[in-house]
Amino acid sequence: MSVLQPVRGTHDLLPDEARRHRLVEEIAFDVARRYGFGEIITPIFEFTEVFSRNLGETTDVVSKEMYSFTDRSGEGLTLRPEGTAGVARAFISGGLSQHLPLKLFYRGPMFRYERPQKGRLRQFHQLGVELLGVEGSQADVEVIALAAHILEALGLKDNVRLELNSLGDAASRANYRDALVAYLSGRKDQLSKDSLERMERNPLRVLDSKDESDRQVVADAPLMQDYLNDESRRFFDEVQNGLAAAGVPVTLNSRLVRGLDYYCHTAFEFTTTALGAQGTVLAGGRYDGLIGQMGGPATPGIGWAAGIERLSMLFAGEAPVVRPLVLIPMGTADAAVGLAQRLRHAGFTVETGYSGNMKKRLARANKVNARAAIILGEEEWARQAVAVRDLDSGEQEEVPLAALEDRLSRFR
């Protein structure tokens, strides 16, 4: 009989890796709280239209990567491939427009059917933020500064680079779209099949193509920055000035785009070469048209998302390991159960030696890197005392039960 394996593109987070994963999340959330962000938790699956209608039918995520299914009642459902659409749906269905501005932090598993590779899985985990209800550039500055702060708190400041671009307002994008289509139309014979389809429906997505022939065509394409109107330039200047004031260095990237129509103004990515070829660690942008497109009230928004697996691979710190106390009952098993519960309620991490002689139980205590052993011998227990052995120094002393928590405090 073959040994059961995890599904391709999924990964077990075993205790050591899970500790690191959780620490990355907690560091990020701790920094986000300092900026006034509160946590939101949305369902892992939504009605398929939440994603298909709003991510765009022509995007790779919708056309190739979503895990969609029909449930027993005939409803079309999809495991979430990203976090923003679900947050926007929650904003609408929860009637949260009266609470603007809203600062929201999320974390959890996402699902995409794509080729598994380093730092990219079919079930992966993201953390992200959304700031809803602020039209001005100060929102853009704040969410990008928050991202930079989180990456710094994770020890990644020297391994990442912030790339920034402006997509302009609707009028600027329309002018640029016309110029891009005119340019691409004269080079159709050099474009991939996918990009020919994108050009008809969503030409800005051609700029994101990974096809080498497409990349050569795009290299000489018109630049968005040449089509920004005065209002868009002013907004972009404000973002750059605000980031300078916040001490966040910027690299302008005129090729950085977001293909969907509800994106506008600021687009950004934090990239790294520390994982081999240049890769994106964290990415986001302004999406003033999304909530209105979903049927909610016109509401400006900006946010970003980061892959926790990639952050965890880059994370410079070590997840702390709590060294437990080990309780070793020698003929006093019932008493040990009560004492273990008492110590746990007092805030100690306690493991129990289940079986074996004293030597084997102490060997197991060393194996789990215990800080101290509490030995419940029958004679000591009759005196309402226990023996406490410091497993680092080897010193052992008898401690009255009434003073146990106080004497164990140095082992926390």
Instruction: Tally Cβ neighbours within 10 Å of residue 32.
Output: 25
Closest CA to 78 of 53, 44, 123, 55: 44
Asked whether residue 262 is marked as a ligand-binding residue, the answer is yes
Name all contacts of 384-392 with Cβ < 8 Å and 24+ positions apart: 386/339, 389/362, 391/362, 391/365, 391/366
Instruction: Tally Cβ neighbours within 10 Å of residue 400.
Output: 13
Residues in a beta bridge with 126 = 108, 307
DSSP secondary structure of 296-315: S----EEEEEEEHHHHHHH-
Structure tokens at 64: 């190739």
Structure tokens at 183: 């340019």
Structure tokens at 114: 């794509």
Asked whether residue 130 is marked as a ligand-binding residue, the answer is yes
Residues in a beta bridge with 275 = none
Alpha-carbon span 312 to 24, nearest angstrom: 6
Give the chain's radius of gyration (CA, Å). 28
Q: Rounded to the nearest 10 degrees, what angle do helices 137-153 and 230-245 cross at? A: 40
Asked whether residue 163 is marked as a ligand-binding residue, the answer is no
Give Dmax over CA atoms of the chain in angstroms. Answer: 94
Question: Which position has the token pair 């449930």?
Answer: 71
Alpha-carbon span 172 to 223, nearest angstrom: 12
* Side-chain half-sphere exposure of 347, counting CA atoms within 13 A: 7
Q: Which helix (H) or strand (E) holds 101?
A: none
* Side-chain half-sphere exposure of 358, counting CA atoms within 13 A: 9
Asked whether residue 84 is marked as a ligand-binding residue, the answer is yes
Instruction: Tally Cβ neighbours within 10 Å of residue 181.
Output: 14
Judge contact between 229 and 172, C-beta under 8 A.
yes
Asked whether residue 113 is marked as a ligand-binding residue, the answer is no
Alpha-carbon span 170 to 374, nearest angstrom: 69
Alpha-carbon span 132 to 88, nearest angstrom: 9
Q: Is the dihedral of CA 115, 118, 121, 127 positive or negative?
A: negative
Asked whether residue 58 is marked as a ligand-binding residue, the answer is no
Asked whether residue 263 is marked as a ligand-binding residue, the answer is yes
Question: Which residues define the annotated binding site?
Answer: 82-84, 112, 126, 130, 258, 262-263
Question: Which residues define the annotated binding site for L-histidine?
Answer: 82-84, 112, 126, 130, 258, 262-263
